[in-house]
Each structure stands twice: as C-alpha cells, then as structure tokens.
Structure 1
Amino acid sequence: MAEQKLAGGAGLLERDVELGAARRALASLAAAEAPTGPGEHLLVYTGAAGLGKTSLLAAVRRAATDSGLLALTARGGEQEQLTAFHLVRTLLRPLLAQVGEEAGRELLGGWTDIVGPALGLTTVAAGAAPDPQGVRDGLDWIVTNLAVQRGPLVMMVDDAHWADAESLSWLASFAGRVDELPVLLVVAYRPDELPEIPAAFRTIADSNGTRALGLTALTPDAVAELVTDLFSASGVAVDDAFSREVWAVTGGNPFETVELLAKAQERGVAPVEASCPLLRDLAAASQGSGLVARLERLGQSSVRLAWSVSVLGIHTPLELAGSVASLSHTAVAEAADRLREARILTGHQILEFVHPLIATSVYRGIPEELRTGMHAKAGWAVLRAGGSPGTAARHWLEIPPQGDSEVVEQLRSAARLFMQAGAPETAQRCLARALREPPSGAQRAEVLFELGCSTLLYDPASTVGHLRAALEQPVLSPRLHEGITVRLAQSLAHSNNLLEAAETTSGAAESADSEQTRLRLLVWNFMWCAFDAAEQGSKDRSQRLSDLALLLEREEQRIGVAERYVFGLRAWDAVVRGEPVRTAVHYADLAQQRDGLSWTDQEWAFEVPTLASLVYMYADLPERAEALFAKGIAEYEEAGWRGAHLAFGHTILAYIRFRTGNLAEAERSAREGLATANRVGEGIPVHWYAVGTLIAILLARGGLDEAHELAERYRFRAPYSAAVVFPDSQTVRGGLLLAAADFDGAVTELAAAGERLDGREMSNPGWCGWQRALAQSHAARGETEYARTLAEDALARAERFGTASAIGMELRSCAALAEGDRRLELLRQSLAQFERCTAPYEHTRAALDLGLALREVGRFAEAAEQLRSALTLAESCAADELATQARTALEQVSPAS
C-alpha cells in the first residue's frame, strides 16, 4: 500500500499484466458473463517477500468494491499455521458477524452443526464429529450460497504459504468449482515457502487451467521513477546515480525500496551521488539485526510490545498484547504510538506489523528462552480473554514440556474442538504434545485413548500402537478398558488384521466384569469374525451367534442396542449361510425395532446397520432396504460424514438398485460412491466395494471395455481384500474374465472364490453367484456335465434359502445347460419366480432366453411374445445390451413387428 501511495496513486509500478488480468476478471464477474475458458475465475499471484503481492490484492479489493462486488479477504500468518481453519474463519466470520444472527443462519443453511465449530461459531456438539470432507462440503455450500444470494463474490487470500493446512485443502478443492459460480478467487503466496501439505494446493493454478502470475523485482527505470516521485514532492532534484544505487541496494524489491527511501528522507539524506555510500547502512537498519537495534532504541516497553505482537500473531488486540508484554494501559498505548511512528506496527485497537518481513525479524530476534516463556504466558492470556483452547493451543505447541497437568487438559480440550471442526491432524498434534508434557498417571491412558481415536479412520497402524500403550497403563477404569479394547479391535480390522481384532475382543469378553460389557465385546467379536475372509471355525462361530440371539430374543424386556446388534449380525449370518430366508428376515426385524439402528452412533459402528439393512435386499424386500439406506445416508450427511462412510452408503445403495431396480440409477449411485471414495484417498477399503459394484453394473449394461479400464485403474485383482466384500471381488473379477471370453482365467478365479466361500460355509447363491458364473465358464470350455452339476447344486442351495430371485436365477442357469423341452420348462419356472419379486434385470434375462429358445424350436408367435416382454423389461431397467439383443431377435422372428 505504501508502494502505491509513493507511486503517486497512478497504479502499481510495472504490474500492468497482473492488474490487467484482475480488471478483466472483475469486469467479467460484474457483468455476470460465463467464463470462456477454464481458470478465468481464479487469479494466482506468486513472488518473493516484498514484491508487492499485498499491494496487488489491495488494488483488486478496491476495484471489486468500486464495482459493487462483495469482497472477502484473509491472509495467512506465520504464527497461525497450526490453528485449523484459522484462514477460513478470518475470511467468513466478519461477514457473518456483520449480517446478524438471523441472516447468518440463512447463509449457513443446514450446515451450522457441521461447519460451525470450524468457523468458531459453535462449541463442541454432543453428536458425532464430522469428517474433513464433510466440513469442506459445508464450506462449499456456504460460499456458494453467499455468492448466489449476495454476490458476485471476490475472495482474496494473501500469504497463503502461511495458511493452515485445513484451509488450504478446502481452497484447493473449491478452486475447481469457481468457474461454475459468480466467484473470483484471488490467491497470493511465496512459492518457495509453500508447504508440502496439502499437495493439491501447490498445483492450484495448473489444476484449474490457468497459470500463476509471478511478480518480479522492479527495473532500474521503475525504481528511478519511484525515487523521483517521492523527492519531487519537496522540490528536490534527484541524481541518476542515487536512483541506480537505490536499485542496486534493494535489488528492485518494492517494499525494501520504499523503506529505504522513507529512512533516507527521515535522516535528511539528499538524493545525490555523494549520498550513495549511506544507502547500504540505511538498508541494513530495516532488516535482521539492524531492525532489532532500531527497535531497541525505541525503549524497552516498545521492544516488549513488539515481541508480544509477534508471538500473538496477526490481528492482535491492543489490550491482549499489553497483557502478554506486562505493560500498563498507558505504557502500551505509548509504546504502540512509537512503533507506529517507526513504521514497525500499524493499527490502533488491533495491532499488526507493517510487513510480514518485519514480523519475522522481530520474532526471530526474541531470545529463545524468553520466546517460549512468552508463548506460555500468551496461552493463558488468550484463555483469560475469552479465547478458546483451540486458539491457545498453538502456544502450548511452542513451549517445552514441563509436566503441567493443566496444560495437558487444555491440549485435550483443544483436540476435542479440532476433531469436532473436522481437523483430526491438528487434534493429533495437540494430543501428541500432551503426551510429551507428560500427563499424570491418571491422565496418560485417557490421552493415549483419545490419540488413538483421533487417528482411527486415517492411520489405523498408528492407532494400534497408541491403544496398545493405553492398555498397558496400570490404572484403567472398566469403561475405559472396554473403550480402548473396542477401538483397538477396530484399528486392527482396518489394518487388515481381522483375526487379531476378533481375538482381542474375544479375550476381553471372557474377562469382562459385567454382562453388558461382555455382550458389547461379543458383538464386536462376531462382527470382525463375519468380515474375516479367511476365518477359521465359521460353523462354530455361527452356532454361538445363533444360540446367543435365541437367548436374547427370549429376554424381550431387556433388549437394548447391543442386543439389536446381535440380531442384526444373526440376520446377516443367516443370509450368507443360506438359511431359510424367514430366519434372516425375523432377526432383521428384531434388529430394526425401537426406531432401528443408528448409522452414526459413536459407541458402535456403521457396519452392522449396513448388514442388517442389506438383509432385506437379499430377502426380496428391496423397498425396505432402499428406505433404510436412504435413512443411513441422511444420517451420514446430517453428521457431516461425507467421506468413506458416505461412499459406502452410495455404493451399497447402487448394489441394491443393481440387484433389484434400475441399472441407470444403479450406475449413477455407484459412480457417486466411487467419486466420493476418490475424494477421501487412494486404496481405501471402500474402493473394493465401489469398483466391484460398478464393474458388475457396467457388465450388465454391456460396458465391457470400461469395466476392463476400471479394473486396471484400481488394480482390481489379486491380492484381494482380507475382509469380506460384497459383491465378492474375486467373483466379480471372474465374471469380468468370463465376459471377455477368457474362460480359463475365469475358471481359476471363480473356483478359488468358491473354495474360499464354501470353506466358510457362505453358501447362499442369492448372496454370491460364483457357481452360476463358474458353470457358464466350464460350459464354454465344453465341460457341460460338470457345469450341470454346479448349476444343480446352486439351485438346491437357492431353494433352501427360499427367495424367488435366488431360485429364479439358478433355474435360468440350469436351463442354459439343458436341452429341448427341459430347457423350456426350466425357463418358464424361472420366469414364474421373477414374477413374484422385483428383479427386472434378471427377469429380462430369463424372458430373453425363453424367447430365443422358443425361436430355436420354431415357435415364433410365442417367441415374439416373450421377446416383446423382454424388450419392455430391458427398457424399464436400462439394461441396454439386453434391449438391443431383444430388439434384434424380435425383428428376426417378426419383421413386421
């Protein structure tokens, strides 16, 4: 800003390109013109310190305001980098405070509970903490709503290299949407100081189809113009040699040039060649030790105030700075005046350094021991002034361990705030620092437990270490011991150590001191056993689960959450084992009594509600399954769980729709599930579900090439997940090879899948149809008799389970291997089964097969009737390839039709 003022208000020197880009973007935004190319609603300015990035953004803000656009600004601070969402709060809080409570609620919409903690508007809620993606989605919605309701909107972020990681992650993702919105995003940073994390922000310009505009130093001519403008105001002529020396001393850095010239005027230095030797000494006084010496000449109270502001960071209240500096009200006011006159500080009630370079020099000039002491004092001062533990936490991170249990408690409180704000990594830093304090004996197990919980979904391997250490603590309450055990088992399961997870909960259940604790641990034990693809002793475990469910069912008056989880697991076990469907539905109904199972209960997990709801799909009750999944997805969204949990929700909903509904809707849901999983990260467990489901849908719709590309992109092949996945990944892989006519490869994969599943007595063909696909693969290799044996065994299993869809699929499979009237009879039986359930895709396949079989034996009228039925069914469920086959066959049978 000083540079622009000294330039006579004619504009920033040698910044025509940068200002021109801003003017064009603002004009387009004000005129509500759609961008003609990617990246036109994003401006990125880069350059070293002092090159004028802040001045550029100030000019953009003035132009935006003059154009009637809503402008929001924020900047990163060197001392604020470890405070999650600090930059986002700086950006949005002033506007929310300005518009008032009612309008603020309208701008936040239904996102208050999810985003409020990140914005510092609400305290920790009692419900589940949102995940980082949920908070980012909420911020997207709020800013979009703000732009539409009150925009167009210009958002300017200065010193982004010092912004907190959470804010940068959001900015990087939101930048990809700005071209669709009435928003201009302007970002400035020092490229050499940009943090490694988040990596997406480092490529924010390239990823959005634009390029960063790099600021360069001023040329000698520009510096000469600056010198002349400054001194001509007092009627003093300037020697060319003096201007050249100013440029040589400062390297053309605009901030350093302005500071040097201001000092020259202050000292009465004439702008002549004879004064050139003085310039280097004057420049040194503005940097490093020279700045420190200049500060010391202002007096001790000024030094202490400057130190205090450097420790407290940007936007420091005068009273708070005086408290940390131990200055009286009068002394702090006088010291602030002196620092303003010396062009070190600016502002009155809110103090800031004139330039970040000065702030850095002052902070680094504080003796180390004194600096840590000031951070400790600042932490308590922030709390006394009404600040939150989250705001104070960055000061505790700067001080050495002292064994202060109260600091441990403050760090734990801060961690809870950061978890509720969707910033688990910042919470982890706080808890890791609390461990180093160190905590008292009574606190240590709790801190380790909280640290383990904070990393559970993001770093399960680290979680295992924290929780094992917590279990080793000498004093644990029964409830804490239970909580640690449950979370340890979860982290082991998420690390693909399902056997150890099951053993951990089993051992703890045996030594539990209460029946309720034992029951809860048994629920987790049964669940991890159910998900262990290599489980040994499945039959014994199923029997124990069956016995427990029967016992609990008889004690109806005592049924609570744990009991209903047992019923849910019993229902799922009945499905995969192929027990009579009425047994599965009976226990699923028991699990859903009393308002059903919560999908976001922090004391439990989402897996059992998922399994219990899926039972209805396999039981030919798809409407019930869809309704329960809609409820679960709504719970996820309401809680701000918009990462892996939401990906699971959309993916399995897609699988339900694939099995029982419209393939087009199924494909949309599967793609949404996969896209959500991709936002969370590569290689997470939900990718096995999402990719397998989408491949199955694509094969059903005739998209073999895309299915192959998908399998290659996500390495959908051995080694498969150690956890049970549905649809079964190896079976889907076998089906993909079968569709590609790789019959030998298909047999290898499908036979291995069958051996694994049968080894666990997971024998329901309605749950996994590996036998159907394997029979087809053997038949394609000419091994018809063995294929018939497989198909007949699958039919017997389906009849034991008893659903129309399962029986119908296996009857059709048997028909494919039969001949003559036997084939026609099996297909008619298959059709009759599908008429009793909602399975339009499989119904279509049976009708098409019957029509083709009738055509082969010359019964053309009947064939045409079945083919027309198949075409109608195929079109109704978006089975495009089957529709094409039916249409072609129908034309051959009855050209006139």
Structure 2
Amino acid sequence: MRETGTGRVAVVKGVAGMGKSAVLEWAKLTARADGFDTLVVTGYPLERVRVYGLVKRLFQDLNGIAEPAARERLGEWYGIIAPIFGIIPRQPAEPPDPENVLNGLDAVMRGYLTSDRGPLLMVVDDAHWADPSSLAWLANFAAQITELPILIIVSYRHDEVDERLCESLDALDRIAVAGLGKLEPLTLEGVAPLIRHRFADRRVDPEFVEHCHRCSEGLPQTLRELLRFVEEKRIPPTSDALARHGRAMRQHAVYAYHKGQFDERFDRLAPDSRKVALAAAILTPHLTVERVAQLAGLSGDATRAAAADLRRREILTAVDDRDLPWGFTHSLVLHAVYDHCFEPNDRCAMHARAARMLREDGFSAQTAATHVLNMFAVPDEWAAGIAVDAARECLASGVPKAGVTYLEHALAEVAPREMRPLILYNIGRAHFVNDPPASLEPLQRALEGCPPGELRTNIICELGRSLAFSGQLDKSIELLDREIRKTPVGQTRQRLYADLFMWAAFWENDASFASRAHDLQRLTVRLNTESATTRTNYSLFALVAWYGVLSGRRLQTTTKFARAALGPELPNKERNGFSWVEDGWGFEIPMVLTLTFIYCDLFKEARELLERGMAELRANGRQRSHLSYGHAFRAMLHYRMGRLKEARQEAETGLAMAMELGENTPSKWYAAGVLIQTLIAQGDLELAEHTCRRIGFDDPAKAEQAARVLPVPAIVLAELRIAQGRHHEVIRPLTELGERLRAQGMDNPAWCPWGLLLAEALNAEGPQQNQELAKKVAKQAVARADTFYAPVAAGQAKRVAGEVEDNVNAQQALWDAAVALEGVGADYEYAKALLAYGDRLRKDGHKPDAIGELERARITALNCGAIPLQTRATKMIEALVGGNALPADHERAESDEWIEEYTGGYSPFGIPHHGESRPDADADRSETWPFRGGPTRGSEL
C-alpha cells in the first residue's frame, strides 16, 4: 500500500482460536514500525446492541472532546455527529437520516487522513461481535478508499456471524484483497517450533509434538491452552508420558472451556483472583484497575496482585493498565469465565452495579444499558430510566429501532409498574420512524395506564400523529377531540387543540371544517399576536392563517396571523421564525405556514422560512422524507414565481428522494404534482404523462388520499388533460371536487382552482362545450378570488373570466388580470395574462397595442422557460407584423424599444410596468377576522 498509495481492505476469517487476533497484532506492530498511524478496535458480545458502539471506541479522540474543539473537528457535520458521541446532550424528537450519519462518519474518518499525517492502518478484530450500524458504516466507507492512504484489516469468525451482519461482511469480502481470507490450521511443521520454544529447557520428543498437533487440530489457541495444561500438570514432553497422560491431554483440548473442566481451573484460583476475574468479565471492554477494584470490592493493591496471579495463569494479559490495556488472553477465556463461573444471582447484581459505575464515570446511557439488559426480575426505576435514555440515544443516532431492545427488556424485567406508560410511549416513538402502524399498539397500551399530566399529553399527541401517518386521520381527530373534552382550560388544552386543528387541516373528508374553523377562531380570539411567547401560540397562529387560506377569507387577516406565527417583530423588522426540528413538535406546522405564504403570494417570507427550515433539517441530519417535502415546497414556490427551470430541478430532486424511501411515501405526491405542472408549462407533455402514470395521478384508487395533498392530484390531472386537449374528461371530476369543497366551506381558487379549470374545459370546442355555464363558473371563481384578494388568485380568475367572455367586458377583465399580476413576482401567470390580454386587443382591432402586450408576454415567457406560451406569442406577433418581421431573440433590442416601434409609447390599453401608478384595490377591503360571524367573546373552549 505504501508503494501504490491506494487504499486496501484485507479480511481474515477463521473459527475461534485460529489465530486471527495474532495476525492482526503482528500487522499493527509492523505498521507502526513502518510509520503508519493506527486505529484499533475489537468487538465484544455484550456491546452488540449499542448503536455505533464499535465506531465510538474506534474514534477515541472524540470521546470527552470539548465543544469548541468538536465544532472545529466535525465542521458541517457537528449537528449530526455530536449527539451520537455525546458531545452535546441534545436528543432530537426525530432521528437523523441514516445516510447523513454515514456521510458524517466518513468525514470524521477522513479527518485522520490529512496530508500532514502518515498512512493509516485500521484494525477491526472480532467483527462478528460488532453492532450492525458500525459494521454497515465500515462496509460503506471501505468501498470508497481506493484513493486514500489507508489499509483496513478486519477479522471475524465465519461460523458465528449474526444474520444482521451478513450483508456488511459480504460487502467487505467482495472488496478485500485476494489471497488472504480464511486462515488454515497450523501444520505439524508449524506446531513443532512453538512447542519446542515453550519447553526450551527440555527435550521434546517428535511423538509428543505429533500428539499435540492431533489434539489441537492445528488451532493456535487450543494448542496454547493444551501446553498450559501440560505445564500445570507437569507432564513431560516425551513419548513415554503419552501412555499415561495422552488421553487426559486429548480430553482437555476438547473440553478446556466447557463448564466442568473450566470450573475446576477457576476453583483453584485464590479468592481475590476469582473476584477480579469475575469483575473483569463484567466490565470488558471498559477495564481499569479502579473500576475492577470497585466492582470486586478490593483495594487497588489487592486488585493488582490478583491480576498478576491471573496473568501467570494465562487468564489476563496485563497486571496494570498504565502500560498495557487490560484484557483476557482470549475471548474463549472471557466467555468461559462469564458463562460458567458466576453464582445464579451474582452476575445480575454485578451488572446492576457496573451500569451505575459506568454512568457515573461519564459513559453513555447505552453503555450502561448493555448491563441493564443482563438484569432480570429486579424492579429498578433507575435502570428503567437508563433504558429510556439509551433508546433516545439510538434515536439521536438514526437507528431508533435499536432502542426497542432496551425498552422491551426494561418493560419485562426492571420497570416498576408506574414507569410502564413511559416505556411503552418510547417504544411507540421508536417504531413510528420506520413503521407508524407498529407504533399504535404500544402507544395505546401506554395511554391505558397513564394518569393526567405531561406524559399523557405527549402520548396523546404521539398517538394522534401515528394514527394520522397510518391513514387514520379520522381516528386521530376523534382521539384528540375526546381528550380535549376531558382537559381543563390551559396550556395543555391549547397544545391538544394545536394538534387537532393541524391534522384536521390535512383531512380530505372533514365534513366539520366550517365549525372547526369557528372553534379555532374562538380559541385564539384572546391571544395577542404581538406578545405571544410559546410554540403552542405560534402554532395556533399558523393554523388560523392556514384555515384562512383553505376557506378563502380575507388576505389581510390571514397574513397578519401568518407573520405573527414567526414570532414578535424585532427592531430590525425581522422575525425569529419557526424551528422545524423543535423537540415535541413535528415539522407539519412550519410546512403549512410555508404553504400559507406561497398561496398568499408572500414569496419572500416563504423563501426565508423554507431556506431556514431546510438548513435546520440538514444541520440536524433529518430524514430524506423531510427533505423531500422541503424540495417539493421549493418547487412549488419556484413554479408560483414562474422560475420553471428551478421548479423542475427541485421537484425532480424531491421526487427522487421520496421514491428512494418507497412507493408509499406521501411526499412523492407533492413533488410529482408540481413536477407535472412544471412540465406542462415547459411543454413537455410526454414526460408529464409518464410521471402522471408512474405515480398514479390517473388512478382514482391511488390519487384519492385520506390526507390532503398539494397541489391537489385532481387539479394536476385536469391541467394535464386540458393541455392535451382532452377537455371532456375533466368536467365531471372537477364538478364533483368543487361541490365537495363548497360543502366543506373551503373553496378558494388560490389553492384549488377547480372552477377556473372547469370554465376552461366548458369553454373549449367540442361536445362538452357550454359557454354560458363556463361564464357562470368563471364569475363565481372571480368572486371567491376577490374575497381572498391574493394577487395571483385574482389575476388567474380574471384571466379565465376574460377568456371565456366574448363581449366588451372581456378586455376589461383581462386588463384587470394583467394589472393584478404585474410586479407580484408570479411571472408565469403574468405571461399568461399578458398573452390573453394581447390576444383580446388583437381580436378587438387594437393592432399596435396588441403587438406591444404580446411582445411583453413573449419576453416574460422566455425568461420563465414557458416554451408553449413563448411560441404562441411569437406566432401571434408574426401574424400581426408579417411572417419574417421578428428578428432573432439575441439580435432584438430591449423589449421597451421594440414595443415603442408599434405603440409610440403606452396607449390607454397598455399595462403599466412595476413601479408605475396602477389602480389601487378598494380601500375598504379589510376586516378584522377571517371567519363569518366575527370573533366570539365567549369563554375559551
């Protein structure tokens, strides 16, 4: 490796006692002599459940590192890696994405490979006892080391591999250097020098050597134990001695580590030596003289003396921990002591004491909890609490399922009755991450035995969330509604209300939306938007705003509450904003607040909230499902602003992330919906249709979700069918959608423009054409959009109304549409309005003005990347000025000059540019509350 400079992987396999550790020890000493840095770690059976346990011991320099140094060492990965190594105590409510954790650990590993350091040898011994998460990282990293100055050597027992490790070990085998691999037993020629070296002061007969080789079967550790037995029994290494002792030698080679044989050996030890051996078996791999002495109940000197005796008897490797690390001579010896030499209750008691000792010494809850796993039928509140803390560490490490092992053991063996709801609650949280339906049963059991209080509230909120994510929104809302009726007025009740209104806002078939909106009004009527301080208050403000969007109430009040949800205004006019990762809260409320800003055309606020949220999600290593939503919302924002290229990129990224997580990931509907809309705007109808079929927008069984999806799948499909000229297919589904939304009281074209699309379909030529009905539907949509009074919704509605009209009112409606959209920042909709207005001017005989507006439409569409709009505008202009009158885009003068050629300046029909005067909206378009009936000054719900 030193010659080539390329990274290599070597794997050493063999049964127990084959000499794998000796090979790795030789490699370590040789590498150090050759100038290599080394990282060495060994797997131990008691730590197989500890998430990233092997990695934490491998990266010893990160244990106990101060926070400033950790920030410098970990860089951008600090927020993900620091909680895993216990550098910061924060335990997130949701786990980081496992892929982000792997990338963070890769970055830590590369920190050992800087140019100012030598090549590196990484040694991983007994990998068959590694925890699955550590070995998965090792296999992933090992596949990337071709260009790195590192040699990785891994050993494991191929006949004792846990099935959870098979995939990682197979991956290491595939990339390992050919020629190494499975060790073979020592030959007779290999055994002979070892035996003669052991008995260097005596003559060794060849027959004795042959007998030892047969008894040991060439296994180095068996041979070592056999020779120790020969010395202990003072058997001469001669052929004559075999007649008397050969059978005993053969039996000892086979049964040396079995209970009866090893018990005899152990019983011959002095009492202090037995105590030290037992304590060492419990504490491995965290051995120090002080800890062993404390657990064994001996003084330091007595412990050292006992260790010296155990070293002479080839049980321990070192007398003290100042020069050499403590340890057993072989894992077979460790297992023999641990499995055979304890009295029935002593081992459990020593594990209980070891757990407390290690926790007091600053070790992680998981390290202590590995001992709790070996406590049985002993109610212990402290031990149960450690299991809960360990499960939270697993959550922070991105492997929440591993925490279930600690929690289920605590539930069965050590948790007092009063702690059972807490244990079950944490089991439910651990299951929720990857399997929400699996979380329902433990959470329901937790609720049954939990008295009123903070824990019960947390269980209710978590169970409501699990029901929502399991496709049972109705049951989630029923649960929260029932609990609210039992809960006295106060912060707890407000928190439950926040969850209730949040899930109800996503319930597609909520027949009680109108009354629920009124309840939300009554709940928040006394909350001061300028002095609120709690996350519950801010969440309620966000929900008031979102309900205002859904129901189409006035923009002024809706945006007032949306901004208030970001916190009080600071002296610099900024607001602190919403955390997307705050413990105890999901990211759903920041999500609906982002949607609120998008549909209210507050693009700056939406962008700032979204960018802060995405950065926070990344810094905390959150799941790709969260980030896929973030990319989908970015795409929605870009699409709304007419940035079609960026919208497509973000939508494709979000969709790819969602599909990696599985076919049932809800975020795929958000990303795919805006992707299809963007493809329609760009003119790529073939890919739009492919995406539509791939995700299932054309399959009612898939598209009809229990939870609300935005953009609405029926709207996305209708837009595609209209773009394809299949207008007749959308009339019935759009009519049914509109009737349902109107019945629910949530008919706002800003978020669901069913009426606009229906009017377009009814106005198109064909057997379905009904122009009178199209005009009626369009006028109703204009009225609803004017009530909400968001510029984009108003502009869209007036454009469609103008397009379906064919009289003198059409021009005014289209002028109103273009004016409403001018300067808002929604360039794609603005281009469509300009195109429609220019076309109307053309039809009405205002040729110069038509050319000017069509040119502005063409330039705006060009900047958006809306190819069909650009093409239509170009053709219309060419038809008006002559087939070849338009120069190429790159040769054309600025658009203002081009327009003036035909208009001589703006006519009464021209749309003013942003910054010029424009007709103001009605001055009295405001109200103090978004819901009918005004605020109710009754008692709080």
TM-score of Structure 1 vs Structure 2, range by shorter chain: 0.7 to 0.9
SS of equivalent to 2:379:
coil
SS of equivalent to 2:327:
strand
* Whole-angstrom distance in 2 between the partners of 1:832 and 1:129: 46
1:356-755 map, 5 Å: 356-366=331-341, 369-383=345-359, 385=361, 387-420=363-396, 422-437=398-413, 439-440=415-416, 442-473=418-449, 476-552=451-527, 560-594=534-568, 595-674=576-655, 677=658, 683-702=664-683, 717=699, 718-719=701-702, 720-735=704-719, 753-754=737-738
Does 1:119 find its partner at 2:85? Answer: yes
1:793-872 map, 5 Å: 793-813=780-800, 830-846=817-833, 869=856, 872=859
TM-score, normalised with respect to structure 2: 0.77
Does 1:106 find its partner at 2:77? Answer: no
Q: Which moved more, 1:293-302 or 1:765-774?
A: 293-302
* Whole-angstrom distance in 2 between the partners of 1:753 and 1:859: 39
Q: 1:205 to 1:754 in 2, by over 3 A?
A: farther
1:345 to 299, 313, 316: 316
Q: 1:440 to 1:146 in 2, by over 3 A?
A: same
Q: 1:192 to 1:849 in 2, by over 3 A?
A: farther
Q: Is the 8 A contact 1:128 1:639 kept in 2?
A: no
Q: Is the 8 A contact 2:383 2:414 kept in 1?
A: no
- After superposition, the CA RMSD in angstroms is 4.6
Q: Is the 8 A contact 2:207 2:238 kept in 1?
A: no
Q: Is the 8 A contact 1:41 1:178 kept in 2?
A: yes
* Whole-angstrom distance in 2 between the partners of 1:253 and 1:890: 90
SS of equivalent to 1:351:
coil
Q: Is the 8 A contact 2:598 2:637 kept in 1?
A: yes
TM-score, normalised with respect to structure 1: 0.81
Q: Is the 8 A contact 1:114 1:130 kept in 2?
A: no
1:188-199 map, 5 Å: 188-190=155-157, 193-197=160-164
Q: Is the 8 A contact 1:223 1:243 kept in 2?
A: no
Q: 1:161 to 1:729 in 2, by over 3 A?
A: farther
Q: 1:177 to 1:614 in 2, by over 3 A?
A: farther
Superposed CA deviations along residues 369-402 of structure 1, whole A, max 9, x for unmatched, are 4433432343244345554543221111112122
Following superposition, the deviation at residue 652 of structure 1 comes to 1.6
Q: Is the 8 A contact 2:625 2:657 kept in 1?
A: yes
Q: Is the 8 A contact 1:47 1:215 kept in 2?
A: no
Following superposition, the deviation at residue 199 of structure 1 comes to 8.2
Superposed CA deviations along residues 673-698 of structure 1, whole A, max 9, x for unmatched, are 44555676663433433343444444
Letter in 1 for 2:863: S
Following superposition, the deviation at residue 191 of structure 1 comes to 5.0
Give the match for residue 288 of structure 1: 258
Give the match for residue 75 of structure 1: 42
Following superposition, the deviation at residue 622 of structure 1 comes to 0.6
Q: Which runs of 5+ in 1 are unaligned?
A: 1-22, 34-39
Following superposition, the deviation at residue 764 of structure 1 comes to 1.9
Superposed CA deviations along residues 481-501 of structure 1, whole A, max 9, x for unmatched, are 433333332232222222222
Superposed CA deviations along residues 170-225 of structure 1, whole A, max 9, x for unmatched, are 4455556556866665544445544444786366459xx846869665568x6244
Q: Which moved more, 1:488-497 or 1:289-298?
A: 289-298
Q: Which moved more, 1:44-53 or 1:242-251?
A: 242-251
Superposed CA deviations along residues 286-307 of structure 1, whole A, max 9, x for unmatched, are 5434555544455555444334
Q: 1:323 to 1:600 in 2, by over 3 A?
A: same
Does 1:355 find its partner at 2:330? Answer: yes
SS of equivalent to 1:83:
coil
In the alignment of these two chains, the number of paired residues is 857
Q: 1:56 to 1:414 in 2, by over 3 A?
A: same
Structure number with higher helix proportion: 1
* Whole-angstrom distance in 2 between the partners of 1:621 and 1:219: 71
Letter in 2 for 1:284: V
1:215-254 map, 5 Å: 223-230=187-194
Q: Which moved more, 1:499-508 or 1:143-152?
A: 143-152
Q: Is the 8 A contact 1:867 1:889 kept in 2?
A: yes
Q: 1:809 to 1:216 in 2, by over 3 A?
A: same
* Whole-angstrom distance in 2 between the partners of 1:205 and 1:888: 62
Larger radius of gyration: 2
Following superposition, the deviation at residue 444 of structure 1 comes to 3.9
Q: 1:603 to 1:281 in 2, by over 3 A?
A: closer
Q: Is the 8 A contact 1:239 1:271 kept in 2?
A: yes
SS of equivalent to 2:596:
helix
1:784 to 758, 769, 792: 769
Superposed CA deviations along residues 401-427 of structure 1, whole A, max 9, x for unmatched, are 222334334434444555455553344
* Whole-angstrom distance in 2 between the partners of 1:217 and 1:836: 72
Following superposition, the deviation at residue 630 of structure 1 comes to 1.7
State the percentage of identical aligned residues.
31
Q: Is the 8 A contact 1:523 1:566 kept in 2?
A: yes
Q: 1:577 to 1:179 in 2, by over 3 A?
A: farther
Q: 1:94 to 1:274 in 2, by over 3 A?
A: same
* Whole-angstrom distance in 1 between the partners of 2:550 and 2:650: 24
Following superposition, the deviation at residue 767 of structure 1 comes to 0.9
Q: Is the 8 A contact 1:241 1:273 kept in 2?
A: no
SS of equivalent to 2:40:
strand
Letter in 2 for 1:784: Q
1:330-341 map, 5 Å: 330-341=301-312
